[in-house]
Structure 1
Amino acid sequence: MKTLQILPSLELGGVERGVIDLARAMKARGDETVVVSSGGALVAQLNQMGVRHYALPVHKKSLAVFKQVNTLAEIIQRENIEIVHGRSRVPAWIGWMAAQKARVPFVTTCHGYYSAHFFSRVMGWGKRVIVISRVVGRHMIDDFGVPPDRIRLIHRGIDLSQFSYVPNKYDSVPKTLRIISVGRLSPIKGQVDFLRAVHHVRREIPNLEVWIVGSEGKGKTRYTELLHRTARQLGLYSCVKFMGTRRDIPELLAQADLLVLATRIPEAFGRVVVEAGAVGTAVISTRVGGVLDIVDDGENGLLVPPGDVQSMTRSMIRLLKDRQLCRKMTAAMRSKVERNFALDSMVEKTLEVYREVKAEKKILVIKLGAIGDLILAVPSFRMLREKFPDARICLLADRKLAPSVSSCPYLDEVIPVDRSRLSNIFYLLRLAKRLRREGFDVSVDLQNSKWTHALAFLSGVRERAGFRRGKLGFLLNRAETPPKAPEPPVRNQFRVLSKLGVQKLDDRLELWASPRARRNAETWMAALPEGRPRVGFVLGSSPQWETKRWPIESFRELGDRLARELNASVVLIGSKEDVPLAYHYLSRPADYVLDLTGRTSPQDLIAVTEKLSALISGDTAPLHAAAALGIPVAALFGPTDPKRHMPPAENASVISKRLPCQPCYSGRCRLAEKMACMTKISPDEVFESVRKLLARPAAAVGNPRI
């Protein structure tokens, strides 16, 4: 496995040392690491290990830093990087964009707390978000909305071979007792509280030597001067040594009798506590942050409230006087460090995250509607599942229509949205934010609108497939050019799927009714006499497509003839808007006609269609449902092209007059002879089609193919 680690610099620090340790351990296991940073003292160690380092200015907090995205993307592709791992906000932004461009997974590690503004959000955009302590994990969940299932807890690990543990350290009492404080000099680190506690301890234990290790940083001296003044005022200057920045911290910890961490705010982790445990030095810490993952109060160390000088004083006196307690606690801490904080454990858990990320594929299919279009998309769902059997496949569909495919076995989840609001930029951004939390790797845009193109891009999907249409088509990076000639809908979708490696076209339609819908259908159909053919009439169409409607008079004439010559019952199907059309059948006998207009849900429609012997429909949803269920269907095409919209069906008859004006793709007819494409379809020719369909074995009454 080959990964790229990107961080601001390689100066001395816990994050930087962790990257060096990880690179060394991965190389020893035969894995490769490439490191990108602005440089620093630790680059020499990478060179000695034979780990490649690229020096880029990825530490600068300015917009100019984004010029490095293309450079980093080229490095990713040239080095055949499999995973990009960002470890700080500015490098993470560059790494995320470059990973998107190079189409490789992106992972983050959150090494601390981040202010809750947009610039910090990138730390939660990893396919996996590694946190170094439970408190940081809770911070990312609560403040950045990272789903818990994308969080992975991996404590920082240390190379135990670099730390000499002396189990008999507390068997004797030295003449001078040493207390050490390690960390950046800052008011939030609590060094003033520490000095005040030392002042009280010294009254009872005068033979003390105190080491304060750390510095403020380049050009900063104000707090350092305050600490020096405090030491003088408390009469501690003779026993306190300010040691500055040191590289021999393990050795210093080993020489100390007690480590005190006095921080006032939550520490993200507390590596120095782990290092003290590795060498066998007793620990006192304030009860904050990630330290709670390390110190079990009273068992392997002592915890005190932050800012509580008296509690800190009592705890320091207790451990400095009780060598047997120190021996017990340091043994327990060393054991916990070996179990939970060893470098090998950190490396193995990190590699497991990498393997998990490589193996996982989350696919978002975008098909908002209408119902017929969703039915026609089912073969695409099946082909994707066959190509990616272990992937998580989710469908984004209109809230009103989602139930029609809710039982599809090829989908793991149907995400309902308000299609009508997608053009609202605020709704679009909220939806994109939600989808980004899901961490989709691939989007398959079967809707192919400018809004769905934008949605896939804003959702952070790495590979975005679809037909390049409109001004936002450039947002797709797995784009297909729309064909010039009309072609069947499933074959058209297959062009997009082929961009993802799907090689075999399978255009079989399928649908599944829920048990509740089947019970509803049984109840309704019980009103019709058994033994008669049941022929469904789809009376209407979408309100925007009145040109798809066959005249109601033609339906009445056809129904009468079906009843008279074939002893068939008629089932009227339609939406609430089609209810007035059914009034024309009020005078017909109850055993001749069953009126279900305005009564069926999308799932009910599927269950009712299963019970039919044949269906007569224009280019609308029930036509697709019948084709999917294997129900014989007579399809009446007017303003649309059957070559493009007729679903795959084994037992179907397509009736189209092929007038010069067809197909017009207009919802309203503007010709003098209104809707001639539909009115010229005669009841007689439809009757003959239905008669032939019913004569075939597949149309046996009560035995539809499902």
Structure 2
Amino acid sequence: MSTILFTHPSAELYGADRTLLQVVEAIAERNASPQAEGPRAPSRVVVALPRRGVLADRLEALGAIVEVGELGAALRADLAPGRFGKFLHKARRGARFVESLVERHGVDIVHTNTTVLIGAAYGAHRSSAHHVWHVHEILDNPSWARLGMRSLIKRWSDVAIANSRATAAAMLDPRIERAKTIYNGVARDRGDDELGDRAKVRRGLGVGAGDALAVLPGRINSWKGQRLALDAAERLGDACPRIVIAGSPPPGQEHFAIRLDAEIRERGLAERVMRIPFTEDLPSLLAAADVCLVPSTRPEPFGLVAIEAMAVGTPVIAADHGGLQEIVEHGVTGALFAPGSADALAGAMRDVLGDPGRLASMGPAARERQRSMFTHERYAEEMLGVYESLMAPWAVQRAA
């Protein structure tokens, strides 16, 4: 039996958290079925997190061993003058923690899930295990950080995985010998009977039967586009749909949510815009919406909420950059608008919601595109294939 160690920087249930959960679910499903010998034999899963949280509970329910400790995450604050020495100390602790887990659990493969885990990645590189580095970010500023990260990924990984072509172009050195682009997938195709009653969900939000509803899911931070949505709402005036912003801020950054809630009130938008905390039943909320908004002001490496919306037949209005360009087919499954432009976002909302016939055709097209390109089954098969290739007898030896 092989052992796979996943290192991950949070314990919540947002995009990268859910993709990790999907991989562990796939391993659990494979372990529960009859297996051949060799690289497809059952695997033991260990997950290292920086703290406990809902993700840890979900992972343990799947049979994973959860270890909590320092992982040496590189945060933007670590780039500030005078902080680099403290970061190096943190990174060394993270490396030692990962090396100790590899030795204690007899780990064969370390899967570093995101680029921020510099310490964990270095520990994986120094250890006896194979190292898979899964890139979920596009670092656009400062440029030296992106170039430095490209170099580290090339030097420290045995296999590098990007979650979109946009991520691969930005973050992976083209000279990497073993690099793959693997699109995220929706965990499962939920039938209508598994989703919350659409009318009931809308009533619970105070949305009338005749009102258009736009849902903007995601973490509350500086670049997910929540404030841009407020700007667009002001431009639309009475034509603005009901907008539900669904999400919570990262731990320790509650000021983002406090500021957003205050702006909704101060701008006089409370009758049209509301914020609700993160919900685990996001599919039911998305199914109740007429459109899903993904107005990120920085390039999304992928855009998991977009395919989650498409899976329940909800068209997506998204910023025209990053991985979203690979997900949304403009004019067919939704609309793409100029990034950072409130006027363009308002115009896209007006165009899509103002044409009932067009809106009705976009839903089925969105669902079909998700089923053809972004499924859990395809994602799981490709991810497990990476591990199997490393465990196969003919796998290349790790670089020194």
TM-score, normalising length from structure 2? 0.79
Q: Distance in 2 between matches of 1:14 and 1:224?
A: 19
Query: Which residue identity is paired with 1:109?
Result: H
**Matching residue within 38, 48, 51 for 1:36:** 48
Residue 129 (str. 1) matches residue 160 (str. 2): yes
Per-residue CA deviation, residues 573-611 of structure 1 (Å, 9 max, x unaligned), is xxxxxxxxxxxxxxxxxxxxxxxxxxxxxxxxxxxxxxx
Q: Distance in 2 between matches of 1:65 and 1:337?
A: 38
Residue 105 (str. 1) matches residue 118 (str. 2): no
Residue 292 (str. 1) matches residue 325 (str. 2): yes
Q: Distance in 2 between matches of 1:228 and 1:248?
A: 22
User: 1:180, 1:259 within 8 Å by CA — same for their partners in 2?
Assistant: yes
Determine the structure 2 residue equivalent to 1:51.
64
Compared with structure 1, are the counterparts of its residues 339 and 77 closer, same or farther at alpha carbon in structure 2 (3 Å cutoff)?
Answer: farther
Determine the structure 1 residue equivalent to 2:182.
154
User: 2:72, 2:92 within 8 Å by CA — same for their partners in 1?
Assistant: no
Aligned-pair CA distance for 1:260: 1.3
Determine the structure 2 residue equivalent to 1:8.
9
SS state of the match for residue 299, structure 2? coil
Determine the structure 2 residue equivalent to 1:330.
363
**Matching residue within 160, 179, 201 for 2:236:** 201
Aligned-pair CA distance for 1:309: 2.5
Instruction: Output aligned runs, 1:663-702, within 5 Å.
Output: none
User: 2:318, 2:324 within 8 Å by CA — same for their partners in 1?
Assistant: yes
Determine the structure 2 residue equivalent to 1:116.
146
Q: Distance in 2 between matches of 1:10 and 1:106?
A: 22
Residue 22 (str. 1) matches residue 23 (str. 2): yes
Query: Which residue identity is paired with 2:138?
Result: Y
Determine the structure 2 residue equivalent to 1:85.
111
SS state of the match for residue 34, structure 1? strand
Query: Which residue identity is paired with 1:239?
Result: R
Per-residue CA deviation, residues 76-98 of structure 1 (Å, 9 max, x unaligned), is 34434321111134545334434
Compared with structure 1, are the counterparts of its residues 227 and 163 closer, same or farther at alpha carbon in structure 2 (3 Å cutoff)?
Answer: farther
Determine the structure 1 residue equivalent to 2:282.
249
Identity %: 24
Which runs of 5 or more structure 2 residues have no equivalent in the other structure?
32-41, 75-86, 140-144, 200-207
Out of 185-194 and 20-29, give the one that drifted further. 185-194
Per-residue CA deviation, residues 102-158 of structure 1 (Å, 9 max, x unaligned), is 2x21110001023336467433331111000111100123xxx35254220111122
Q: Distance in 1 between matches of 2:393 and 2:176?
A: 16
Which runs of 5 or more structure 1 residues have no equivalent in the other structure?
362-389, 392-439, 442-460, 463-706
Q: Distance in 2 between matches of 1:178 and 1:252?
A: 10
SS state of the match for residue 189, structure 1? coil
Aligned-pair CA distance for 1:246: 2.8
User: 2:102, 2:127 within 8 Å by CA — same for their partners in 1?
Assistant: no
User: 1:5, 1:85 within 8 Å by CA — same for their partners in 2?
Assistant: yes
Query: Which residue identity is paired with 2:360?
Result: R
User: 2:328, 2:334 within 8 Å by CA — same for their partners in 1?
Assistant: yes
Determine the structure 1 residue equivalent to 2:314.
281
Instruction: Output aligned runs, 1:403-414, within 5 Å.
Output: none
Instruction: Note the aligned Cα RMSD (angstroms).
Output: 2.9
Q: Distance in 2 between matches of 1:229 and 1:101?
A: 48
Q: Distance in 1 between matches of 2:303 and 2:296?
A: 10
Q: Distance in 2 between matches of 1:236 and 1:220?
A: 23
User: 2:11, 2:52 within 8 Å by CA — same for their partners in 1?
Assistant: yes
User: 2:91, 2:118 within 8 Å by CA — same for their partners in 1?
Assistant: no
Compared with structure 1, are the counterparts of its residues 108 and 219 closer, same or farther at alpha carbon in structure 2 (3 Å cutoff)?
Answer: closer
Determine the structure 1 residue equivalent to 2:341.
308
Determine the structure 2 residue equivalent to 1:182.
217
Compared with structure 1, are the counterparts of its residues 93 and 70 closer, same or farther at alpha carbon in structure 2 (3 Å cutoff)?
Answer: closer
Instruction: Output aligned runs, 1:475-486, within 5 Å.
Output: none
User: 1:6, 1:92 within 8 Å by CA — same for their partners in 2?
Assistant: no
Q: Distance in 1 between matches of 2:257 and 2:61?
A: 35
Determine the structure 2 residue equivalent to 1:572.
none
Determine the structure 2 residue equivalent to 1:191.
226
Larger radius of gyration: 1
Q: Distance in 1 between matches of 2:91 and 2:234?
A: 48
Q: Distance in 1 between matches of 2:252 and 2:98?
A: 32
Compared with structure 1, are the counterparts of its residues 234 and 99 closer, same or farther at alpha carbon in structure 2 (3 Å cutoff)?
Answer: closer
Q: Distance in 2 between matches of 1:179 and 1:242?
A: 12
Compared with structure 1, are the counterparts of its residues 28 and 92 closer, same or farther at alpha carbon in structure 2 (3 Å cutoff)?
Answer: farther
User: 1:92, 1:108 within 8 Å by CA — same for their partners in 2?
Assistant: no
Aligned-pair CA distance for 1:274: 0.7
Aligned-pair CA distance for 1:290: 0.7
Q: Distance in 2 between matches of 1:196 and 1:327?
A: 27
Instruction: Output aligned runs, 1:357-372, within 5 Å.
Output: 357-359=390-392
Greater relative CO (CA pairs within 8 A, separation 6+):
2
Query: Which residue identity is paired with 1:11?
Result: E
Query: Which residue identity is paired with 2:180?
Result: R
**Matching residue within 335, 351, 354 for 2:387:** 354
User: 1:211, 1:242 within 8 Å by CA — same for their partners in 2?
Assistant: yes
Per-residue CA deviation, residues 480-535 of structure 1 (Å, 9 max, x unaligned), is xxxxxxxxxxxxxxxxxxxxxxxxxxxxxxxxxxxxxxxxxxxxxxxxxxxxxxxx
Instruction: Output aligned runs, 1:229-628, within 5 Å.
Output: 230-232=263-265, 234-359=267-392, 441=398, 461-462=399-400
Q: Distance in 1 between matches of 2:251 and 2:123?
A: 31
TM-score, normalising length from structure 1? 0.47
Q: Distance in 1 between matches of 2:46 and 2:117?
A: 14
Aligned-pair CA distance for 1:353: 1.7
Query: Which residue identity is paired with 1:356?
Result: S
SS state of the match for residue 338, structure 1? helix
Q: Distance in 1 between matches of 2:149 and 2:354?
A: 49
Compared with structure 1, are the counterparts of its residues 314 and 73 closer, same or farther at alpha carbon in structure 2 (3 Å cutoff)?
Answer: closer
Compared with structure 1, are the counterparts of its residues 280 and 112 closer, same or farther at alpha carbon in structure 2 (3 Å cutoff)?
Answer: same
